[in-house]
């Protein structure tokens, strides 16, 4: 029996209430909703826990604690309640990511015990494509297939290394990362444009999806072809394909300092709806 005010791990019996909480902002909360739907909130599949805060027997805030620490409808007044039960031990997460209004007080509350961060990326624009693209999509962008794996995998490694600052293959992680790329291709969640020689000029993937939204990640343009509009037309194509075949809204978040990418997404028709902050360990 749940007490009137409580913080506790959620489980399969809490699915309906947790999804209702996420649906207060279903595009921003697409990652948490996706994880809930694919794991049924079972810790065996989560690789961690999803915690919930209840007030008067009603779920008012959530916290995904796995490889990523992701707040769900977290208010500043909820932070302290989560710190000891959910975050009191040693750090197990590699990132904290989500709306800046939730991530920043959350990080402040655990910073003293979790130590030095590798990088903080504050105030990242969160963007959505709600309708048709604002420019003509690149007709050369298509879903990749397993036959494309050897061509797209080096582009995925290059993108990750450029974006995160370390190679996904470091520390023996190559097999795991290759499996992740293979999984995205098999789901039909990777899109790319190739030149005549079969080299990747542009690519992007869907990271997660729900009945309401799909979040795009891993946007990459070959370095020697940047500045030609490949990202603008490519993202218009990806946004159109995602909205037609995966989810009604295409979303992503981008570093505030990445002005070239922000211009490309704006020209493609993506509009800012929120601000994220990411803390990288």
- Residue 150 is predicted with a pLDDT of 97
For residue 239, the enclosing domain spans: 129-275
Lowest-confidence segment of 12-16, 84-88, 260-264 by average pLDDT: 84-88
User: Are 136 and 241 part of one and the same domain?
Assistant: yes
253, 207 Cβ separation under 8 angstroms: no
Count of the separate structural domains present in the chain? 2
Of 216, 221, 160, the residue nearest 193 (C-alpha): 221
Q: Which two tokens mark 79?
A: 């932070």
Q: Which residues touch 44 (CB under 8 Å, ≥6 apart)? A: none
Q: Does residue 77 sit in the same domain as residue 157?
A: no
Same domain, 102 and 191: no
Per-residue pLDDT, averaged over 174-191, amounts to 97
Query: Are 162 and 34 found together in one domain?
Result: no
In a shared domain, residues 47 and 134: no
Chosen domain end from 75, 90, 115? 115
What pTM does this model have? 0.94
**d(Cα 146, Cα 144) in Å, to the nearest integer?**
7
pLDDT in tens, 106-137: 999 999 999 899 999 999 999 999 999 999 99
Query: Is the distance from CB of 175 to CB of 185 less than 8 angstroms?
Result: no
Q: What's the DSSP call for residue 179?
A: H
Q: How confident is the model at residue 4 (pLDDT cuts 50, 70, 90)?
A: low
Q: Which of 218, 159, 149 is nearest to 186 (CA)?
A: 149
Per-position b or e across 205-223, b if 16+ CB within 10 A of its CB? bbbbbbebbbbbbbbbbbe
Check which CATH number belongs to the domain holding 154 and give it.
3.40.630.30
Percent above pLDDT 70 for the chain = 99
For residue range 6-55, what is the model confidence (pLDDT) as tens digits?
Answer: 999 999 999 999 999 999 999 999 999 999 999 999 989 999 999 999 99
């Amino acid at each position: 029996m749940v007490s009137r005010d409580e913080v506790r791990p959620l489980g399969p019996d809490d699915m309906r209430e947790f999804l209702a909480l996420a649906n207060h902002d279903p595009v921003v909360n697409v990652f948490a909703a996706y994880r809930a739907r694919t794991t049924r909130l079972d810790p065996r599949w989560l690789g961690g826990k999803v915690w919930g805060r209840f007030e008067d027997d009603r779920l008012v805030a959530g916290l995904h604690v796995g490889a990523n620490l992701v707040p769900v409808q977290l208010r500043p007044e909820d932070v302290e309640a989560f710190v000891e039960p959910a975050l009191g031990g040693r750090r197990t997460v590699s990132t904290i990511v989500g709306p800046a209004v939730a991530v920043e007080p959350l990080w402040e509350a655990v910073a003293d015990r979790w130590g030095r961060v590798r990088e903080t990326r504050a105030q990242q624009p969160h963007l959505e494509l709600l309708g048709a693209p604002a420019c003509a999509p690149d007709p050369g962008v298509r879903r990749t297939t397993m036959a494309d794996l050897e061509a797209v995998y080096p582009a995925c490694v290059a993108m990750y290394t450029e974006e995160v600052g370390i190679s996904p293959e470091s520390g023996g992680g190559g097999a795991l990362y290759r499996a992740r790329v293979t999984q995205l291709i098999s789901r039909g969640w990777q899109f790319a444009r190739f030149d005549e020689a079969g080299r990747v000029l542009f690519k992007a993937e869907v990271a997660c999806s729900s009945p309401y939204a799909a979040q795009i990640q891993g946007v990459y343009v070959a370095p020697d072809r940047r500045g030609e509009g490949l990202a603008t037309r490519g993202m218009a194509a990806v946004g159109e394909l995602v909205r037609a075949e995966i989810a009604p809204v295409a979303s992503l978040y981008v570093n505030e300092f990445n002005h070239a990418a922000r211009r490309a997404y704006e020209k493609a028709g993506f509009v800012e709806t929120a601000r994220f902050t990411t803390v990288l360990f």
